Each structure stands twice: as C-alpha cells, then as structure tokens.
Structure 1
Amino acid sequence: MTDGYQLPRYSLWQMVLYMLRLGALGFGGPVALVGYMHRDLVEDRKWITDSDYKEGLALAQMAPGPLAAQLGIYLGFVHYRVLGATLAGLAFVLPSFLMVVALGWAYARFGGLSWMQVVFYGVGAAVIGIIAMSAKKLTQKSIGKDKLLWAIYLLLLVVTVVTESEVGWLFLASGVVVWLLRAPPKWLARGGVHAAALIQAPMTGAWLGSMDTSLLTQIGLFFGKAGAFVFGSGLAIVPFLYGGVVQQHHWLNEKQFVDAVAVAMITPGPVVITVGFIGYLIAGLSGAAVAALATFIPCYLFTIIPAPYFKKYGKLPGVVAFVDGITAAAIGAITGSVIVLARRSIVDIPTAVIAVVVVALLWRFKKLQEPMVIVAAAVAGFILYPVMH
C-alpha cells in the first residue's frame, strides 16, 4: 500500500481530513491551493517529499483538467495509491460542491444574489494578495537561481499575461527543452506511448457531442469535454464554458454566467466547481451532480493512469529534467494568472489598498490563516462598496 522506499508519516484518513479542510477553507483558486498544499504537506507536516510534490505539479500541468484538483488526487496517490487518490479527490471537491449547490438553490429561489457583488468587491481583492504570496513562495522554492528555469518561467509569465490563457503545448515544450539540454534522451521511447494514448482518449467525446440526446446526457457530454480538453488552472475552463453554455447551447444568459464565475471565486476549493452551480441552474440537483462528475472524472483518470509511470521512472535524470522544465513553466503561468486576475479584481483605490494590505500581513505574519483574511476582506467590502458605488 505504500511506496516501499518510504513509509508514510500519516494515515489515509489524516490525508482525507486535510483535503476536506482545504476544500472547505481554501480560498484563492488554483494558484493559492497548490501553494497551500506545498506549505502544509511538504514544509510543515513533511508528509510529502518535495520531489513527489514537483512530480505531481508537473503531471497536473501536463494533463488536461483543473490543476489543484489533479495535484490533490496525485498527493493522495503517493502513498495510498488508487484508494488514496479517489478519497483525496472526493474530499477536496465535496465541500465546495455542496456550497455551490446551496448557492444555486438560493440563486434560483430568490432571483439572483445581489449581495455577491458586495462580497466579491472585498474578497476578490484579498484573493489577489493571497495568490500573489503563494506564487512568490512557489517561485522561490522551485526556480531558485537556475538561469534556464528562470528563462522558461519568464516566458510563460509573459505569454499568460498577453494571451490571458494558458498555452498547453508550451508546458510540454518547456519540459522537452530542459530534458534535451540536461539529460540524454533515453526515456522518450518508453514514456511517449502512454502520453499519446492519453491525449487521444478524449476524442470520443467530440464525436458523441453531435448525437441527439436528453438534457442530462448533453450536460454530461459537454462538461466531460470541458474536463478532458482544458489545460491548467480552473480559470482556463471559463472561456470554454462560456462558449458552450451561453453561446452554443443557450442554457444560461450572460448575467447568469458571470454570476456563476463570481460564485466560484467567493467559495473555497477549486474554481472549476462553478460547473456545479451552472449545472444546478440548467437542470437542478441532478444537473449539478452530472456536470461536476463529468468535469472531474477525466482529470481523475488523467492523474491515476500515468501516476505509476511517474512513480516508477520519476527518479531518472531525464525525467527529473523534464519535470523541472514543466514545473518552471507551470509556476510562470501561475504567476502570470495573478496579474490577469488582478486586472479584473482590483478596480479602484480601495481594492488596491486591500490587496496590498493582505500581502503585507501575510509577509509579516507567516502563520496568519487565510480564512480570517477572507472574512475581514468581506466585511471591508460591505463597508466600502456602498461608499464607492
């Protein structure tokens, strides 16, 4: 049940309880969540080694689907294999899923959630401060003083800011560049087949999408495609969802979709859980469940199927170099996404002040709990929003 080379310092249920807590209290989206996992599981508790964490982050960035959820699934796999991956993934997603379903019910029952704008005014700015600090820590820890990794990091940062999206092939290219420059290409023939097979697997979803089917089946096929084709952070799925939900299927109007994204931002856990809210508005509780399952099943499979190969070959010099390259690219894209999000959340002087104060507090007080920061920012939003509007 364990790796053989190292006995775990924790039980499976301790990991499940940690993931439940992170899913219930982890604000800030994928950038912050992957930072929390490193701080809590690698630095503080030492349950996971830094090399295992880097492998998980690289695999999560290589495969399609939401970044933080895949990393959580991989960290569950490290010592407790498929059972650990399954329970860690469910524990991570469940709290935020229940929250967005409750908000979906309230939204449908009371005709919108006007208070959301007020809350998001303060919380959105605080989240920028939180994820900026997470990006800083990840950069210091993983990039260090390595000039090649810094070049890749800066390239991905700039590309993410300019395009406002994450370019999937650049992550793979970054890994290949570091691998070719630092280690002889002995591993390519052994690992390439599995990656190619996984990339081709989702193609069936595109073919099935043209069939005439019931509403729940349409929801399952569409959100399954979203989970199978979208790379990077949960935020990367938003443009894809907009195209399908609003423009193609006309399930929601523009305002409902924007509110759905706001729900994802003000609730803890993975941003991609907005699919639960959208599914609820389309077809009630069954729509929420189908949308969430269809989105997360591909990312679950894309994590547990290649994970044993990562564990088996992960210590080879070529794989280490490849992982280093993808990790640098991932953290560059994560840092770029902080800037992209800041443009949307920092809209005036008070929001800029909130973001700066949060950075200063987290810099000064290392043990400050993020949920406390979020609550304080929400209160500030309630006070300042009426004054500014």
Structure 2
Amino acid sequence: MAGTARIQTAPGPGVTASGAPQPVTLAQALPVWARIAALSFGGPAGQIAVMHRVLVEERRWISENRFLHALNFCTLLPGPEAQQLATYVGWLMHGTRGGLVAGGLFVLPGVVAIMGLSWVYALYGNVGLVAGLFFGLKAAVLAIVLQAVIRIGKRALRGPVMVGLAAVAFVAIFFFDVPFPLIVLAAGVIGYLGGRAGLPQFKAGGHGAGGRVVEGPFLLDDHELPQERAAAGHTLRMLLVWGAIWLVPVAAILIAFGPSDVFAQVAVFFSKMAMVTFGGAYAVLSYVAQQAVDHYGWLKPGEMLDGLGMAETTPGPLIMVTQFVGFLAAYRAPGALPPLVAGTLGGLLTTWVTFAPCFLWIFVGAPYVERLRGNWALGGALSAITAAVVGVILNLAVWFALHTVFAETRPFAAGPIRFDVPVPSSLNPWALALAAAAVLAVFRLKVGMVWTLAGCAAAGVALHLAGLV
C-alpha cells in the first residue's frame, strides 16, 4: 500500500540466513528477556519500544499485528502494561512458564535497584552524588521517552482517524483532566462501532499512511495458536492458583498481626491499588502520595517525588515507586524487627501484592483475547484504545519534560480547562542543556540507550561535583 514502509531486518540470533525464524526454547529465550529487563528505562513508552525492537524487529519472534493485539489488551488492565505485555508474549511462546519468566525478569532489576537505593536513602538521606546521578538520568530518560512516543505512534496511529483519536485523548487528559478510564471507554466504544460497521480505518492491524511494517516470517505469525487455549477448567485453575498466591499472604498477615499493623496496612492498601491502577503509575501516584503522607503518615511531603525519581531512572515499571513507599512505611514502624529488615520486608511485600495480580489478569484473560483476534468489532475497539493510549503517553512525556527542565509549575484554570504551567524563573539551564544533548544523541547521532543513559548519568555526577547542581 502506498505510504507504508516495509523494513527487512538483518538476520539475528535465532534467524536463518533466509529470514525464517528458528524454534526457540525457554532456555534460549531467557537471556533475551533478561536483556529487555535490563534496558527497561523510560516508563511504559520506552519499555514497549524496547520490546518491539527486540521481539519484532530483531528476533522476529512475534508479528507486528500480534504484538499490537497483545498491547491493546494490556492497556485495558490495571497495573503496568509493559510488564503485562512481556508476560503476555512470554505466555504466547512458552505457556505459563514463559509468562512467569518474561514477566518476573521484567520486574527483577527494578526490585533490586529500588531496594538498594531505599537502603541508601534510609541510611544517608538524599545523598548528593545520588542526586547528581538522578539529575543526569532524568535528562536521558526524557529523550528516550520522546523517541518512544514517536516510534509507538508510527506503529499504532495508522491513518488520520487514529491520529485524531490520539490527539483528542491528549487534549482531554492534559487540558481537561479527563480520567483515563473514561478516555479508554470512549475510545473503545468508538472503535467497536467502527469495527462493527466494517470501516477499514478501525481494522486491527490495518496499515495506513506513514506506518512501518516489519516483514516476516515470524515465529508467532498472525495465525499461530497459543499453547494454552481458553477453557473453563484452565480459567478456574488460574483463578484459584493466582488468587491464592496473591491473597493468602495478605490474609495470613491480617490474621497474625491485626489490621492496625503496618505490614497489614501495606498489604491491604496496595492490594486495593493493584485493582484500580488503570492508566499506569502517573494516574494513581497523586492518590498514593495523598494516602501515604496524609492518611497513614508513612512518608514526609516531598519524599514521594524522591521515590518517583528512583523509579523513573532505574529499570522496570514506574509503579515500582510503591516499593519505596512500602519500605519507608515499615522502616519507620519496625516493631520488634531491625528497621532495615522491616523496611526490606515491607518493600518486598508491596511488590508482591502489586505484581501478583498482573500474572492473574494475563493467565486468565489472554486465552480469551487470543480467541477473539479475528473479531472485527473487538479489534476495532482495541485499536482505537491503543491510539488513545498514545495520546496519554504523550501527555506523560510532556508532564515529565516540564518537571525535568523546570523546578516549579503552577496550576492554570479557566472554566473546564486545567493544566500546569511552568514558572519561567525556575528553568534549570543545566537540565535543559543535558536534555538537549540527550535528544541530539538519540535522534541525530543514533547513540544507543545504554550509552545515552551512562553519559548523562556521568554528566550529572560531574555537575554535582563541580557545585553546579
């Protein structure tokens, strides 16, 4: 089709010279999932872009349409969509074991990094060198997020209708503060009606102007069936097993320590959050901060932003900031335990109840979503939702840019219009210079993600040592 660019990637490991993918065992997939996890910086946009580059373009394990179909479903779920996408693709390739490996590895680097930084924070406070490191990393992350928005947008916004949906979603959430679930619902209804009417603009996997398609063949093409199909017995088994993995520890803590204990409070609060975190971490961070600071008294004002800085500049989902919250909550109310031991257990408990439900949603729902891949109406709804999510991710990129380059923002309100405006006098010239250098490195010089992150981190530390930040 005119206007559609097809890119043929060079054969990589697991791909023959003729371009045909070779079968991949779980052991062979393990280092690839570990690599994706180690490069999962930049929030969901950056993480999804990394997965697309590795899984679709380099390895050709999964087709473009199959990847976007999985992404469409994951955006509907509560919790971090990038981690759930990794779980979904791992499940497609190797069943439940593959989903556990892919989803578990995706979280592991963030668990280790946030825990280590939480120890440093608790023992030494916001150490200057660490602050300088974060300062540099934020500039690099900004460039990576911008690159990811463009890459994901090119693949998901296939045609003017999808571009329009993304634009409306951005305006709605940025300027009018429309709740994310309402945006998803509206986009889904529009896409469902368009798909049911047979409009080609809403066809899942359709290619419009400006799209880029990676040529196959793929290990999992558009017709390959998953290992585990939708069945009542499978669904019940997954519900019982993963419901128990998630909730039995919560019930045991409540029975053993009572509802007023800090571990019980952490377990119950973040279990509830796991069911309502639609729209990713930013959609619920203000509520988490309000409850953690004002209601429970776990954190002091401003500490939530320090935790967000850790999560933004370490591998893994942004929702990993909750581990920092759980760590400080238990660290400051350790009971009979040493504070660092209590904090470590509190952080790990928070991570457990945050991510155990993610596996439940995928292992129960993915077989049914796979069975409905040929349904035009559902496909149209999911494609429209993905387009709207691109607009929401752009909103997060703008939000992140404002808070990286400017130290202060002030709210602006005029009727239903509400958004944050940067305070010009709070512009940080070093942050702007580092962000510009990172953008130049990523977009013009084509420097890789790891080198960009390392260079900006080193620059941040150097600026701190020179007393400039």
Output the TM-score relative to the length of structure 1.
0.86
Q: Where in structure 2 are there 5+ consecutive unaligned residues?
A: 1-19, 199-229, 331-342, 407-427
Give distance in 2, aligned partners of 1:182 and 1:123: 42
Contact 1:34–1:68 (CA under 8 A) maintained in structure 2 = yes
Aligned pairs (5 A) from 1:300-311: 300-311=359-370
Cα deviation digits, residues 86-118 of structure 1 (max 9, x gap):
221111101110111111122222234333322
Counterpart position of 2:315 = 268
Decide which of 105, 120, 127 is 1:113's aligned counterpart.
127
Instruction: Determine whether 1:364 maps to 2:444.
Output: yes
Counterpart position of 2:325 = 278
Instruction: Determine whether 1:175 maps to 2:177.
Output: no
Contact 2:45–2:148 (CA under 8 A) maintained in structure 1 = yes
Worse overlay, 124-133 or 250-259: 250-259
Question: Cα distance 1:34–1:182, how it changes in 2: closer, same or farther (>3 A)?
Answer: same
Instruction: Determine whether 1:246 maps to 2:305.
Output: no
Give distance in 1, aligned partners of 2:64 and 2:322: 32
Question: Cα distance 1:14–1:342, how it changes in 2: closer, same or farther (>3 A)?
Answer: farther
Cα deviation digits, residues 242-271 of structure 1 (max 9, x gap):
022111111111133222111112211111
Worse overlay, 312-321 or 346-355: 346-355
What SS does structure 2 have at the residue aligned with 1:254?
coil
Counterpart position of 2:67 = 53
Give distance in 1, aligned partners of 2:186 and 2:402: 28
Give distance in 2, aligned partners of 1:59 and 1:321: 12
What amino acid is the match of 2:182? W
Worse overlay, 285-294 or 157-166: 157-166
Question: Cα distance 1:15–1:158, how it changes in 2: closer, same or farther (>3 A)?
Answer: farther
Instruction: Determine whether 1:340 maps to 2:340.
Output: no
Instruction: Determine whether 1:151 maps to 2:164.
Output: yes
What amino acid is the match of 2:463? L
What SS does structure 2 have at the residue aligned with 1:305?
helix
Counterpart position of 1:224 = 271
Contact 1:20–1:94 (CA under 8 A) maintained in structure 2 = no
What amino acid is the match of 1:249? Y
Decide which of 256, 260, 273 is 2:303's aligned counterpart.
256
Give distance in 1, aligned partners of 2:22 and 2:95: 12
Counterpart position of 1:214 = 261
How far the C-alpha of 1:331 sits from its partner, in A, is 1.2
What amino acid is the match of 1:183? R
Contact 1:135–1:334 (CA under 8 A) maintained in structure 2 = yes
Question: Cα distance 1:166–1:334, how it changes in 2: closer, same or farther (>3 A)?
Answer: farther
How far the C-alpha of 1:318 sits from its partner, in A, is 1.6
Contact 2:281–2:318 (CA under 8 A) maintained in structure 1 = yes
What amino acid is the match of 2:184? F
What amino acid is the match of 1:41? L
What SS does structure 1 have at the residue aligned with 2:302?
helix
Give distance in 1, aligned partners of 2:176 and 2:40: 27
Give distance in 2, aligned partners of 1:293 and 1:110: 26
Give distance in 1, aligned partners of 2:147 and 2:437: 12
Output the TM-score relative to the length of structure 2.
0.72
How far the C-alpha of 1:184 sits from its partner, in A, is 4.7
Instruction: Determine whether 1:377 maps to 2:390.
Output: no
Instruction: Determine whether 1:99 maps to 2:113.
Output: yes
Choose between structure 1 and 2 for higher RCO, CA contacts under 8 A separated by at least 6 residues. Answer: 1
Contact 2:165–2:388 (CA under 8 A) maintained in structure 1 = yes
Give distance in 2, aligned partners of 1:12 and 1:62: 28
Question: Cα distance 1:24–1:163, how it changes in 2: closer, same or farther (>3 A)?
Answer: farther
Worse overlay, 215-224 or 175-184: 175-184
Cα deviation digits, residues 65-85 of structure 1 (max 9, x gap):
112111111111222222211
Worse overlay, 153-162 or 357-366: 357-366
Contact 1:223–1:295 (CA under 8 A) maintained in structure 2 = yes
Question: Cα distance 1:377–1:163, how it changes in 2: closer, same or farther (>3 A)?
Answer: farther
Worse overlay, 15-24 or 342-351: 15-24
How far the C-alpha of 1:300 sits from its partner, in A, is 2.2
How far the C-alpha of 1:154 sits from its partner, in A, is 0.3
What SS does structure 1 have at the residue aligned with 2:127?
coil
Give distance in 2, aligned partners of 1:156 and 1:13: 41
Question: Cα distance 1:165–1:36, how it changes in 2: closer, same or farther (>3 A)?
Answer: farther
What SS does structure 1 have at the residue aligned with 2:315?
coil
What SS does structure 2 have at the residue aligned with 1:302?
helix
How far the C-alpha of 1:9 sits from its partner, in A, is 4.2
What amino acid is the match of 1:152? L
Decide which of 84, 96, 101 is 1:70's aligned counterpart.
84
Q: Percent identity?
A: 27
Question: Cα distance 1:356–1:110, how it changes in 2: closer, same or farther (>3 A)?
Answer: closer
Cα deviation digits, residues 125-167 of structure 1 (max 9, x gap):
21111110111011111213x1211111101122232356861
Give distance in 2, aligned partners of 1:101 and 1:214: 22
Decide which of 276, 279, 282 is 1:235's aligned counterpart.
282
**Aligned-CA RMSD value:** 2.7
Higher share of residues assigned helix: 1
Contact 1:225–1:295 (CA under 8 A) maintained in structure 2 = no
